[in-house]
Structure 1
Amino acid sequence: MHEQVHHESIGLIPQLILLFPFLIGFIIYFLAIVISHQKQRTWPVYRTLFWVTGSTFAMIAVAGPLAERAHLDFTIHMLVHLLLGMLAPLLMVLAAPITLIVRALPVQHAKLLTKWLRSRFVHIISDSIVASILNIGGLWLLYTTDLFTAMHENMILYVVIHLHVFLAGYLFTISIIYIEPTAHRKSYLYRSIIMVLALAGHGILAKYMYANPPIGVPSYQAEIGSMLMYYGGDLVDLIIIFILCSQWYKETRTCVALKTEAKKVFLD
């Protein structure tokens, strides 16, 4: 049995610190669209909608009434986790921000960005295994140690953990589904296996918290929050799996069509 720990209000400063990068990203994305249009290169409206929706979910999760309640209620905290660490990253990945920025940048700067994206550092952190450890492993560390309680008592730790949740979720998403050109591509089989293992790790953690609430979290909140994490996480993961399988199917069908065409040309 865990006694409920009452935390003080999160305060305005941490909310503003967390809100700032998403506001900047929001502005940069639309500036890039304007520059791209000036270069006579249109940008799909649906990708813009993905960015607006994803950024909105992220901002709602880190600042405002929901963020305040999440500081006091584990169920709401878990809703914030789903928005900030899973749904917002997925939507923002689908918005293809890197492709847009490369279009908008001058050629020299675009080449520098492309070179950095091909670097060994990006290769390592964008690998599905590394991204999964940062994402799922980070959640295990947060909810099975006293880190969860410490987060609510230390402003710097609070900000760092929330940024980690978003960035780890974003890295994991781009490591599984390739929406933009990727220099370090992994096979579909490799990514599928990692996806299944990560999904299992996320689900097992949710079940573990149902029976073993984090320190300071009352049982009834842990039960509801764990179910929200389990079923809500599965829903987002299902979308990622659908996209991955669709990409795999399209690429396989294209390869088969090319081989068939090549065979016909050879026979003729």
Structure 2
Amino acid sequence: MGRYSRRFDRGWSRWRLAGFVSGLVLVIVALSGPVSAFAHADARGHMLQHLLIGMYAPLALVMSAPVTLLLGALTPRAGRRVGAVLHTRALRLLGHPITAAILNVGGLNVLYLTPLYAASMQRGWLHVLIAVHMLAAGYLFTWSIAGPDPAPHRPGLTLRVVTVLAAITAHAFLGKLLYAEAGRLPPGTHYPPAQMEQAAQWMYYGGEIAELVLVIALFMWWYRHPRTTAAAAEPRRPVQATAVPLPGMR
């Protein structure tokens, strides 16, 4: 942070530092021995991991603006390389709210509505891979909606609001489906229905809290950047050529 302080004449925000540390702590807690053992033995433990890794940790990490800190701490040459990555077509596609929502909520549907979840309970490497996907997809989705870090190709407010509302609806529907089909979903598992019902409730209500925070962050961004939002919504007008008088003309 020393280079950042020297370049910007101020230190890093304590709130952002607290957010970054909180995000890391949430990931560590979710992957710790007691929580991991709880997740392998109980559906509620797995749902706790899902909430911590896939929703709350990404929120804390994104809101801490780690890319902004990185750009401020790097040399100008290294910063240009990071900026070039932010402008790549791949990141533009993955960072689009619709793509990020599909990877995030769509991944949960694949996990809980197919035998993938049961397979992850038998294969440790698959369980780790799913946890990495949850964290990455949750981070990507949060950043695409309301992250304070640079997002060169982020669409306007309307599309992001529609996308986040659709994602909230899909997440809530999945939670209700797991509750209604407790004892049969996820396929290949044999959790007691009462236990799965509680896990689905954790998913539904715990997810609502994280989603509410994300919506608040989105509208706070809109409040602070009204000109950016208006510029994105305003249609581009063709540039009209102006006549330049030639020498000798009056």
TM range, smaller chain:
0.7 to 0.9
Q: Which residue of 2 aligns with 1:198?
A: 167
Gaps of 5+ in 1: 1-32, 257-268
Matching residue within 36, 46, 65 for 2:4: 36
Q: Which residue of 2 aligns with 1:151?
A: 120
Q: Which amino acid aligns with 1:227?
A: Q
- Following superposition, the deviation at residue 245 of structure 1 comes to 1.7
Matching residue within 185, 203, 216 for 1:229: 203
Matching residue within 143, 162, 165 for 2:131: 162
Residue 93 (structure 2) pairs with residue 119 (structure 1): no
Say which SS state the counterpart of residue 186 (structure 1) adopts: coil
Counterpart CA distance in 2 for 1:221 and 1:87 is: 23
Counterpart CA distance in 1 for 2:228 and 2:162 is: 23
- Seen in structure 2, the aligned counterparts of structure 1 residues 130 and 67 have a Cα distance that, compared at 3 Å, is same
Counterpart CA distance in 1 for 2:196 and 2:216 is: 30
Note the 1:182-193 alignment, pairs <5 A.
182-193=151-162
Say which SS state the counterpart of residue 153 (structure 2) adopts: coil
- Seen in structure 2, the aligned counterparts of structure 1 residues 252 and 225 have a Cα distance that, compared at 3 Å, is same
- Following superposition, the deviation at residue 159 of structure 1 comes to 1.2
Q: Which residue of 1 aligns with 2:104?
A: 135
Q: Which residue of 2 aligns with 1:220?
A: 194
- Following superposition, the deviation at residue 220 of structure 1 comes to 1.2
Say which SS state the counterpart of residue 103 (structure 1) adopts: helix
Q: Which residue of 2 aligns with 1:92?
A: 61
Q: Which amino acid aligns with 2:62?
A: V
Rg larger in structure: 2
Counterpart CA distance in 1 for 2:153 and 2:104 is: 20
Greater relative CO, 1 or 2 (CA 8 Å, sep 6+): 1
Residue 27 (structure 2) pairs with residue 58 (structure 1): yes
Matching residue within 25, 46, 65 for 2:15: 46
- Following superposition, the deviation at residue 249 of structure 1 comes to 3.2
Q: Which residue of 1 aligns with 2:177?
A: 208
Counterpart CA distance in 1 for 2:207 and 2:200 is: 10
Counterpart CA distance in 2 for 1:98 and 1:172 is: 15
Counterpart CA distance in 2 for 1:249 and 1:48 is: 23
Say which SS state the counterpart of residue 192 (structure 1) adopts: helix
Counterpart CA distance in 2 for 1:221 and 1:35 is: 51
Q: Which amino acid aligns with 1:141?
A: V
CA RMSD of aligned residues (A): 1.7
- Following superposition, the deviation at residue 227 of structure 1 comes to 0.5
Matching residue within 48, 62, 79 for 1:79: 48
- Seen in structure 2, the aligned counterparts of structure 1 residues 227 and 188 have a Cα distance that, compared at 3 Å, is same
- Following superposition, the deviation at residue 89 of structure 1 comes to 0.2
Residue 209 (structure 2) pairs with residue 241 (structure 1): no
Counterpart CA distance in 2 for 1:255 and 1:146 is: 43
- Seen in structure 2, the aligned counterparts of structure 1 residues 255 and 180 have a Cα distance that, compared at 3 Å, is closer
Q: Which amino acid aligns with 1:196?
A: L
Q: Where does structure 1 differ by over 4 angstroms across 4 or more consecutive aligned residues?
A: 38-41, 253-256
TM-score, normalisation: structure 2: 0.85
Count of aligned positions: 224
